[in-house]
């Protein structure tokens, strides 16, 4: 009964979304305030209806109602509650409901919090949101109904893929979707601005916080995904350039570019057409990501079931939204007036370089992801494009970007002085040179990338700190004055320092992990010992293991360092009911200096076990850095200027503090 | 510089970055892609030893042998042709006889495939799509044929 109510709510939501799409749009064209205002309750009702449908589905999962086919296929009564809940979005149908739920949530947030938006703009933004809702609700209702019943109901479910029974992955999709779907707001603002024919500083001020929120979620989502890959897949890597990973990374790259270009629109009223284009591009890549994952056209670890009808449906949605918005862009964008002029060497110029490099980097990822697909359609040759491709193409472009990151904030708006900026950054240059030198001395056999990469990391971190120090006049004015200036700095200043510094931390982690990883693969019998980096690992033997919905074997490993016991690690081989699938649990000793990572493999011919061990130096810097970037985003989002300054449509240039 | 010259300089700079990127892409696509074959196609194409490629098929029942230490060998077949594979390392959790697998590596002079990567199918319902397609062409695999 509850499932039927959920189904009904979903169909109603489709109707409401249709209303939200058409009525406010007509109202905005005719200048009818009543019709425009109708968008607000529509957005709220649409959200409530989808929330009801989502709750109904979750209810079916929690009580293990196997008469619902979706629950039967993806859940099991013995599963821990958290995985019953995450089971809701572990599959195609349920994840789609989550997708539209988040879409409607963002729409409702604009309806509630967007009080200072001009009514016309608000109506159009919500109408565009409604149109996206129509497309995806129709997709759900017509091709992917999660509420289909089974008769007679089975007694037990099929269970959830054990690889997905993991805390990081349980909450990875909601964050990633919040990021993907959050970009729909920037898209809606861009399309509304194109219809409106007006893009100004105030517009950028409204777009920025939404883009920032989406970017924060995307950052968490991508970082969580890589963390999951790192410690559940048991391959010791954190990024595989897998098509599904790439399809979350491309929107992140473009959203990062968008964040920066929106600053130029806000502060200098320039780059308007480009920013609108980026808004469209960022959401288009999110849609493409949805298509790549949902249609199963690309081979991937994450691929859901292959269904041609669904693939064609999503392709249709893709065509309408990307094609439609680009056509609108081509038609209306030339009418947008270009704004302020600037010299190539200036803050604006730096941000243009940032945008150029980020977009070109996204382009190389795009080609690497889609080229195999195109080739297969055209020539039937099947190829795979792996890490070597991305190292050659994405690598150098990002290298150039990283060199420029600390310089940008030191350049003045309109006309900058490169020499002066570099002189102010001398400490960063010195730190980078020192790090490169140290790395060269202690690790002469390492590739050139090691000193260069770590020097870049130091350059980014020290550069970010210097920028903050410069703003508060550290050591140039009395310390007390500096501290009170620090307290008075806007959130966005901290945000930038944390995000740019975090990027440096990520770079250090990636370089150290990729170049200095120690890998030992050995057949070991109980009692045998191997050396892994500075650690000595002794295989102590194995014992049987019983969990809530699995049984297995647990191997224990005594880890010592310099004769002292560090920890006893356990790596498990679990066999899950009811699928009888085997999953290996990694034994992990995390420290800031690096992780010891032990995986127990198959039994060998002579009665031992194949054991794979890694020492991954500084690997946690990757996630620490990502966390710092997330914090940076959160600080910027909390910046009161987004709220206090937002209502005025006329930008008050010159009163904005330089940053 | 006049405004016009500045603008041209900026556009040229942007085009240069784009050009360099596309050059890198073309270079990388020529050098670092890996072709995917079934054992039959491998025989047809006369693959030279040392050329890096991916081979996919079913792991033949009874062919999985554990050798010295962590070395193992098995036979990958599309039921028409087959190829012996050796691999030093840990096989994935999902690796089983009679199931799909994709191996990446090079053919040695004696005709044995030396793999450095082994991918097994990741799900009861899922098999590497490349492989399912090829096996379907050969009529060995049907949709819905799970574990």
Query: Is A392 in CB contact (< 8 Å) with chain B?
Result: yes
Residue A470 lies in a domain: yes
Residue A393 lies in a domain: no
Residue B74 lies in a domain: yes
Query: Is B88 in CB contact (< 8 Å) with chain A?
Result: yes
Residue A497 lies in a domain: yes
Q: Does A610 share its domain with A522?
A: yes
- Chain center to CA of A595: 24
Do B33 and A581 lie within an 8 Å CB cutoff? Answer: no
Q: Does A508 share its domain with A467?
A: yes
Query: Is A292 in CB contact (< 8 Å) with chain B?
Result: no
Q: Does A511 share its domain with A530?
A: no
Domain encompassing residue B6: 1-33
Q: Does A526 share its domain with A510?
A: no
Q: Which residues of A touch B90 (CB under 8 A)?
A: 521, 599, 601-602, 610, 612
Q: Does B60 share its domain with B117?
A: yes
The ranges of chain A with pLDDT < 50 are 299-305, 644-659
| ipTM (interface pTM) | 0.76
Q: State residue A111's pLDDT score.
A: 93
Residue B147 lies in a domain: no
Say how many domains are in chain B: 2
- Judged by DSSP in three states, A559 sits in strand
Measured distance between the N- and C-terminal CA atoms of chain B, rounded to whole angstroms: 71
Q: Does A567 share its domain with A504?
A: no
Q: Does A458 share its domain with A547?
A: no
Q: Does B51 share its domain with B123?
A: yes
| Residue of chain B whose Cα is closest to the Cα of A297 | B129
Say how many domains are in chain A: 2
The ranges of chain B with pLDDT < 50 are 122-128, 142-147
Task: State how far the alpha carbon of A189 is from the alpha carbons of A167, A200, A203, A205, A243, in Å.
Answer: 35, 12, 8, 11, 29
Q: State residue B135's pLDDT score.
A: 60
Q: State residue A504's pLDDT score.
A: 96
Q: Does B112 share its domain with B45?
A: yes
Do A522 and B94 lie within an 8 Å CB cutoff? Answer: no
Q: Does A415 share its domain with A512?
A: yes
Q: What angle do helix axes A39-62 and A92-113 make, rounded to 10 degrees? A: 150
Query: Is B21 in CB contact (< 8 Å) with chain A?
Result: yes
Q: Does B79 share its domain with B53?
A: yes
- How far away is chain B from the Cα of A550, in angstroms, using its nearest Cα? 15
Do A601 and B70 lie within an 8 Å CB cutoff? Answer: yes
- How far away is chain A from the Cα of B88, in angstroms, using its nearest Cα? 9
How far, in Å, CA of A581 to CA of A164, rounded? Answer: 12
Partner residue facing A303 (CB), from B67, B91, B126: B126
Q: Which residues of B touch A610 (CB under 8 A)?
A: 69-70, 89-90
Residue A577 lies in a domain: yes
Burial class (CB in 10 A: 0-12, 13-18, 19+), B35: middle
Q: Does B61 share its domain with B15?
A: no
Residue B11 lies in a domain: yes
Q: Does A482 share its domain with A530?
A: no
Residue B145 lies in a domain: no
Tell me the whole-structure pTM to 2 decimals: 0.89
**CATH number for B130:** 2.40.50.140
Q: Does A527 share its domain with A613?
A: yes
Q: Does B82 share its domain with B70?
A: yes
How far, in Å, CA of A146 to CA of B99, rounded? Answer: 30
Query: Using CB atoms and an 8 Å cut-off, which of residues 204-263 of chain A contact chain B?
Result: 234
Residue B144 lies in a domain: no
- How far away is chain A from the Cα of B110, in angstroms, using its nearest Cα? 25
Q: Which residues of B touch A581 (CB under 8 A)?
A: 93-94, 124
Do A305 and B89 lie within an 8 Å CB cutoff? Answer: no
Do B29 and A385 lie within an 8 Å CB cutoff? Answer: yes
Q: Does A466 share its domain with A523?
A: no
Q: Does B60 share its domain with B91?
A: yes
Do B129 and A161 lie within an 8 Å CB cutoff? Answer: no
Q: Does B40 share its domain with B86?
A: yes
Q: Does B54 share its domain with B72?
A: yes
- Token pair listed for A286: 């999110």
Do B32 and A296 lie within an 8 Å CB cutoff? Answer: no
Partner residue facing B90 (CB), from A341, A599, A605: A599
Domain encompassing residue A497: 411-516+621-627
Do B69 and A161 lie within an 8 Å CB cutoff? Answer: no
Q: Does A525 share its domain with A506?
A: no
Q: Does B115 share its domain with B63?
A: yes
Enumerate the β-bridge partners of residue B100. B58
């Amino acid at each position: 009964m509850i499932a039927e109510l959920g189904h009904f709510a979903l169909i109603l939501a489709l109707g409401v979304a249709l209303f939200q799409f058409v009525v406010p749009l007509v109202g905005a064209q005719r200048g009818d305030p009543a019709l425009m205002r109708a968008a607000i309750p529509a957005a709220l009702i649409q959200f409530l209806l989808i929330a009801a449908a989502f709750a109904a589905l979750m209810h079916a999962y929690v009580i293990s109602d196997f008469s619902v086919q979706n629950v039967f296929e993806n859940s099991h009564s013995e599963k821990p509650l958290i995985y019953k809940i995450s089971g809701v979005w572990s599959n195609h149908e349920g994840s789609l409901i989550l997708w539209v739920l988040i879409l409607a949530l963002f729409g409702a947030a604009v309806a509630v919090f967007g009080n200072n938006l001009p009514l016309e703009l608000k109506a159009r933004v919500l109408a565009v949101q409604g149109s996206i809702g129509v497309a995806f609700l129709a997709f759900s209702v017509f091709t992917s109904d999660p509420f289909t019943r089974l008769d007679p109901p089975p007694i037990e479910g099929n269970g959830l893929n054990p690889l997905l029974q993991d805390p990081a992955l349980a909450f990875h999709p909601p964050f990633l979707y919040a990021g993907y779907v959050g970009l729909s707001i920037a898209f809606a603002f861009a399309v509304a601005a194109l219809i409106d024919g007006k893009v100004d500083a105030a517009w950028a001020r409204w777009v920025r916080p939404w883009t920032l929120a989406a970017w924060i979620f995307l950052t968490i989502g991508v970082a969580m995904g890589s963390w999951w890959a790192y410690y559940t897949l048991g391959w010791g890597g954190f990024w595989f350039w897998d098509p599904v990973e790439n399809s979350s990374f491309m929107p992140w790259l473009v959203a990062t570019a968008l964040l920066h270009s929106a600053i130029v629109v806000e502060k200098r009223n320039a780059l308007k057409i480009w920013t609108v284009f980026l808004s469209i591009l960022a959401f288009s890549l999110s849609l493409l990501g949805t298509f790549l994952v949902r249609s199963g056209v690309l081979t991937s670890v994450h691929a859901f079931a292959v269904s041609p009808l669904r693939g064609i449906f999503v392709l249709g949605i893709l065509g309408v939204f990307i094609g439609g918005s680009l056509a609108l862009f081509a038609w209306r964008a030339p009418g947008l007036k270009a704004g302020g002029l600037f010299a190539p060497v200036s803050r604006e110029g730096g941000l243009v370089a940032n945008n150029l490099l980020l977009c070109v980097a996204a382009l190389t990822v795009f080609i690497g992801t889609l080229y195999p697909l195109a080739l297969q359609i055209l020539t039937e040759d099947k190829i795979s494009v792996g890490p070597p491709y991305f190292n050659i193409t994405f690598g150098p472009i990002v290298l150039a970007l990283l060199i420029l990151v600390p310089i940008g904030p030191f350049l003045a708006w309109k006309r900058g002085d490169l020499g002066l900026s570099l002189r102010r950054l001398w400490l960063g240059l010195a730190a980078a040179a020192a790090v490169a030198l140290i790395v060269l001395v202690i690790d002469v056999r390492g590739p050139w990338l090691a000193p260069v990469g770590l020097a870049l990391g130091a350059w980014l971190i020290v550069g970010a700190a210097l920028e903050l120090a410069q703003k508060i006049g550290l050591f140039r004015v009395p310390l007390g004055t500096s501290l009170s200036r620090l307290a008075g700095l806007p959130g966005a200043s901290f945000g930038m320092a944390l995000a740019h510094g975090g990027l440096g931390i990520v770079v250090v982690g990636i370089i150290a992990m990729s170049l200095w990883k120690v890998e030992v693969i050995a057949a070991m019998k109980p009692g045998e010992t191997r050396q892994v980096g500075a650690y000595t690992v002794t295989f102590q033997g194995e014992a049987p293991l019983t969990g809530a919905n699995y049984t297995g074997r647990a191997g224990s490993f005594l880890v010592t360092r310099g004769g002292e016991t560090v920890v006893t690690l356990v790596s498990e081989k679990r066999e899950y009911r009811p699928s009888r699938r085997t999953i290996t649990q990694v034994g992990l000793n995390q420290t800031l200096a690096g992780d010891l990572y032990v995986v127990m493999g198959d039994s060998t011919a002579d009665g031992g076990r194949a054991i794979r061990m890694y020492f991954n130096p500084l690997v946690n810097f990757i996630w620490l850095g990502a966390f710092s970037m997330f914090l940076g985003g959160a600080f910027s989002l909390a910046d009161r200027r987004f709220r206090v300054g937002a209502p005025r449509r006329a930008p008050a240039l010159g009163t904005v503090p330089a940053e | 510089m006049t405004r016009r010259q500045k603008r041209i300089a900026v556009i040229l700079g942007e085009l240069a970055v784009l050009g360099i990127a596309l050059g890198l892409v073309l270079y990388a696509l020529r050098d670092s892609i890996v072709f995917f074959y079934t054992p039959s196609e491998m025989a047809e194409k006369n693959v030279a030893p040392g050329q890096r490629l991916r081979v996919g098929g079913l792991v033949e029942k009874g062919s999985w042998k554990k050798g010295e230490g962590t070395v193992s060998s098995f036979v990958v077949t599309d039921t028409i042709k087959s190829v012996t594979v050796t691999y030093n390392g840990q096989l994935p959790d999902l690796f089983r006889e009679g199931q799909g697998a994709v191996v990446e590596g090079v053919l040695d002079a004696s005709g044995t495939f030396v793999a450095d990567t082994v991918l097994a199918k990741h799900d009861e319902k899922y098999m590497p799509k490349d492989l399912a397609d090829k096996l379907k062409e050969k009529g060995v695999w049907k949709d819905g044929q799970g574990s």
